[in-house]
C-alpha cells in the first residue's frame, strides 16, 4: 500500500489559453479501486497521461507505484499478429501462464492468444488486453473506458472481473459499472477536485445534498445582502437629509431650532454615515461568504427536441427479413420480423455482431422516400445506396446492407435523423460542419454549450476534440433535426454521466419515436418502451 501525492499540479496544452489543471493537490491510495468521474474535456485522460509521464507539467506528482495503462496502443503489425507474439513487448515481465489465468477469470479460452488480433471481436480484444493488464504484480492500473462498444454480456463479464481486482483508477461513464467496481471516487468538479469514499451512487447522493445546501445558503445570503442594501440606502438618505439641514436657518420654518443645534445635527449625520459604512462592510462579508458556494453546482440546462408527428400509427415494418452485406455470402439477420410504432423508443439488444447496426443501416435506406407513397424494399431489390445524408453526420459506407429476403417498409415522407457510433470521420471546424449539414451555427453552438462544451473548442479542428466531445457534435446535430424517426447507434459511448442524465430527461419529456442501440443498463431501463432481442 502506498500513496500517490499530487501537489500544486498545473498543466495546460500548448496553444491553449486555459489550464486543464491549476494548483491542484490531492492524494490517493494505490490499494483503492478508484472511479474517475468528470465532464467530457475536463482532463480525465490527460491526468492519466500525466501519471505516465507523457506531458511536462508544473508542480509535483510523487508516485510510489509502477503505472500500466489500458487500452494498449497496438501497431498495424501487432494487429495482424497473434497476441502471444507481443505480450512481452507491451508488458515486460508478463508471462504467458499469468495471462491465461486472467483470461480464465474473464470466462474466455486461451485460444484467443493464438488467433490474429484483428480477427477478434471488440469484446474479445478488450478481454485479452485486460488479462494482460492484470497479469503483472505491483502495478497500479489506469483503465480508460473499458466497456465502450461492448455488448451487455461482455460488460457484465468485465464488471464481475474488475469487482475482484484492486489497485486501479477506472475512467468510465457507465453508472452500473462504477457502482459495482469501485470503493472510492476521484471527481473533477467544475472548479475543484475531490476524493471521497464510496461508489458512484453514494457520491451522487452526497453531491445532491451538498448542492441543495449550497443553493439554500446562497439564497439566504442573497436575502441578507438585499435586506442590508435596503437598510444602507435608507440610512444613507437620512444622512444626506440630515446633512443638508445643518446649514441655513429659516426663522419661520425652523422656529424650534437655534444656532447651537448645528453641532447636534453634524453628530447625528456622522453616526448615520458610520452606520452606512458598517452595512457596507457586512455586505462585503456576506458577499465573500457567498462566493464559491455555487462553483461546483451542476445545473444542466433542459435540452429541447422537436420531433415531427407522423400521420400513421406504424412508421416502419419488416417481415421475414434476411439481411447481409454486399460482398459477403453470410446473412447477418435471418427470419427477422419487427415494427416501429409512433411514440415507441425501441432498444435493440444482443451480442456484438448479432446485426443491430446492420438493421439500423438497413432502416437508413428508407430515409429517402418517394413523395407518392410508401417506400418498400423487398427481397432481391437493392436500394441505390443514396440514403439521405442525415444532419447528424452520417458517414458514407463503402458497402451497404442488402435485403436478401423478406420485406422492409416505411410510410411515405418519413424523415429520419441518425447518430453514427463512429466519430472518426469528423474533420475541420464547427463552422464547416454546420455548413455541410445545413445547420444554424449559432443555435448549434448554443446547444453544444448546453451540453457543457467549452467555447474555446469552437475554434479548434474537430480532430482535436476528445471522443466524448465528438459524440456530442453528432448528438447536437441530431437534436437540431426535426424528424419522425431517430436512429441512434450507441449514442452514449464516451458521453459523461451528467450529459447522459440530460439526455434521459429530454427523451422522457419529448417522447420521440426512436430505434436505439445502447448498452448502458441504467439508460435503457429508464428510456426503453420496448426491447427487441436479436
The answer to which of 53-67, 161-175, 282-296, 475-489 has the lowest mean pLDDT is 282-296
pLDDT, residue 387, reads 35
Is there a shared CATH topology between the 3-200 domain and the 314-533 domain? yes
184 pLDDT band, cuts 50/70/90, is very high
Q: What is the mean pLDDT of residues 424-452?
A: 92
The answer to which of 4-13, 138-147, 295-304, 480-489 has the lowest mean pLDDT is 295-304
Share above pLDDT 70 across residues of the chain, in percent, rounded to a whole number? 84
pLDDT, residue 260, reads 56
Sequence-separated contacts (24+) of 112-120 with Cβ below 8 Å: 112/83, 113/82, 113/83, 113/84, 113/87, 114/82, 114/84, 115/82, 115/83, 116/79, 116/80, 116/81, 116/82, 117/74, 117/78, 117/79, 117/80, 117/81, 117/82, 117/83, 118/79, 118/80
Q: What is the mean pLDDT of the chain?
A: 83
Q: Where are the domains of the chain?
A: 3-200, 207-290, 314-533
Q: Return d(Cα 294, Cα 211) in angstroms, integer.
A: 8
Query: Which grid cell is 154?
Result: 461482455
Per-residue pLDDT at 147 exceeds 50: yes
Per-residue pLDDT at 211 exceeds 80: yes
Q: What is the mean pLDDT of residues 500-508?
A: 93
265 pLDDT band, cuts 50/70/90, is low
**Contact partners, residue 488, CB within 8 Å, separation at least 6:** 418, 419, 478, 514, 515, 516, 517, 518
Render pLDDT for 124-136 as a digit per residue (tens, 0 to 9): 899 999 999 999 7
Render pLDDT for 1-10 as a digit per residue (tens, 0 to 9): 678 899 999 9
Contact yes or no for 164/138 (Cβ under 8 A): no
The answer to which of 45-59, 289-303, 485-499 has the lowest mean pLDDT is 289-303
Pinpoint the alpha helices (H) of 194-260.
200-244
CATH superfamily, domain 3-200, is: P-loop containing nucleotide triphosphate hydrolases (3.40.50.300)
Render pLDDT for 315-349 as a digit per residue (tens, 0 to 9): 999 999 998 887 778 888 899 999 999 999 999 99
Q: What is the mean pLDDT of residues 204-212?
A: 89
Output the CA angle 273-275-278, nearest 5 degrees.
Answer: 115
Render pLDDT for 88-106 as a digit per residue (tens, 0 to 9): 999 888 889 999 999 999 9
| Greater pLDDT, 171 or 326 | 171
CATH number for the region 314-533 comes to 3.40.50.300
**Contact partners, residue 238, CB within 8 Å, separation at least 6:** 272
368 pLDDT band, cuts 50/70/90, is very low
Query: Which grid cell is 501?
Result: 442524465
pLDDT, residue 243, reads 62
pTM above 0.85, yes or no: no
| Greater pLDDT, 64 or 309 | 309
Interstrand relation of 514-517 and 345-349 (parallel, antiparallel or unpaired): parallel
DSSP code, position 301: P
Per-residue pLDDT at 81 exceeds 70: yes
End-to-end CA distance of the chain: 46
Amino acid at each position: 500500500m502506498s500513496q500517490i501525492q499530487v501537489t500544486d499540479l498545473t498543466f495546460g496544452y500548448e496553444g491553449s489559453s486555459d489550464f486543464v489543471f491549476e494548483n491542484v493537490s490531492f492524494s490517493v491510495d494505490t490499494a483503492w479501486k478508484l472511479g474517475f468521474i468528470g465532464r467530457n474535456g475536463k482532463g480525465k485522460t490527460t491526468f492519466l497521461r500525466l501519471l505516465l509521464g507523457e506531458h511536462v507539467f508544473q508542480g509535483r506528482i510523487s508516485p510510489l507505484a509502477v503505472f500500466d495503462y489500458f487500452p494498449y496502443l497496438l501497431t498495424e503489425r501487432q494487429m495482424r499478429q497473434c497476441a502471444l507474439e507481443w505480450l512481452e513487448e507491451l508488458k515486460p515481465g508478463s508471462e504467458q501462464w499469468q495471462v491465461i489465468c486472467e483470461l480464465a477469470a474473464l470466462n474466455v479460452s486461451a485460444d484467443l492468444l493464438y488467433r490474429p488480433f484483428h480477427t477478434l471481436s471488440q469484446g474479445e480484444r478488450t478481454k485479452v488486453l485486460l488479462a494482460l493488464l492484470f497479469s503483472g504484480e505491483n502495478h497500479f492500473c489506469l483503465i480508460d473506458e473499458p466497456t465502450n462498444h461492448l455488448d451487455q454480456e461482455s460488460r457484465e463479464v468485465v464488471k464481475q472481473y474488475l469487482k475482484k481486482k484492486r489497485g486501479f483508477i477506472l475512467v468510465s461513464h457507465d453508472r452500473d459499472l462504477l457502482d459495482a467496481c469501485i470503493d472510492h471516487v476521484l471527481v473533477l468538479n467544475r472548479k475543484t477536485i475531490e476524493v471521497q469514499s464510496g461508489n458512484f451512487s453514494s457520491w451522487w447522493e452526497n453531491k445532491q445534498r451538498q448542492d441543495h445546501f449550497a443553493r439554500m445558503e446562497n439564497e439566504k445570503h442573497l436575502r441578507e445582502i438585499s435586506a442590508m442594501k435596503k437598510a444602507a440606502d435608507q440610512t444613507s438618505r437620512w444622512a444626506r437629509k440630515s446633512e443638508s439641514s445643518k446649514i441655513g436657518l429659516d426663522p419661520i420654518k425652523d422656529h424650534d431650532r437655534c444656532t447651537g443645534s448645528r453641532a447636534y445635527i453634524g453628530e447625528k449625520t456622522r453616526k448615520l454615515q458610520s452606520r452606512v459604512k458598517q452595512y457596507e462592510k457586512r455586505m462585503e462579508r456576506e458577499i465573500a461568504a457567498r462566493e464559491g458556494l455555487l462553483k461546483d453546482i451542476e445545473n444542466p440546462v433542459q435540452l429541447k427536441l422537436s420531433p415531427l408527428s407522423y400521420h400513421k400509427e406504424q412508421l416502419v415494418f419488416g417481415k421475414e427479413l434476411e439481411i447481409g452485406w454486399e460482398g459477403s455470402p453470410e446473412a447477418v439477420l435471418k427470419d427477422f420480423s419487427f415494427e416501429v410504432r409512433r411514440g415507441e423508443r425501441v432498444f435493440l439488444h444482443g451480442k456484438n455482431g448479432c446485426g443491430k447496426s446492420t438493421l439500423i443501416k438497413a432502416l437508413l435506406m428508407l430515409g429517402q422516400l418517394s413523395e407518392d407513397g410508401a417506400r418498400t424494399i423487398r427481397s432481391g431489390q437493392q436500394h441505390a445506396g443514396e440514403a439521405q445524408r442525415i444532419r447528424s453526420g452520417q458517414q458514407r459506407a463503402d458497402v451497404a446492407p442488402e435485403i436478401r429476403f423478406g420485406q422492409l417498409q416505411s410510410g411515405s415522407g418519413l424523415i429520419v435523423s441518425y447518430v453514427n457510433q463512429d466519430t472518426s470521420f469528423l474533420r475541420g471546424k464547427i463552422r464547416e460542419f454546420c455548413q455541410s449539414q445545413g445547420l444554424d451555427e449559432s443555435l448549434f453552438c448554443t446547444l453544444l454549450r448546453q451540453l457543457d462544451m467549452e467555447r474555446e473548442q469552437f475554434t479548434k479542428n474537430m480532430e482535436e476534440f476528445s471522443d466524448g466531445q465528438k459524440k456530442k457534435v453528432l448528438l447536437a446535430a441530431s437534436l437540431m433535426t426535426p424528424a419522425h424517426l431517430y436512429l441512434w447507434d450507441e449514442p452514449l459511448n464516451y458521453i459523461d454521466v451528467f450529459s447522459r442524465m440530460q439526455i434521459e430527461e429530454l427523451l422522457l419529456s419529448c417522447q420521440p419515436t426512436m430505434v436505439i442501440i445502447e448498452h448502458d443498463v441504467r439508460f435503457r431501463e429508464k428510456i426503453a418502451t420496448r426491447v427487441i432481442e436479436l
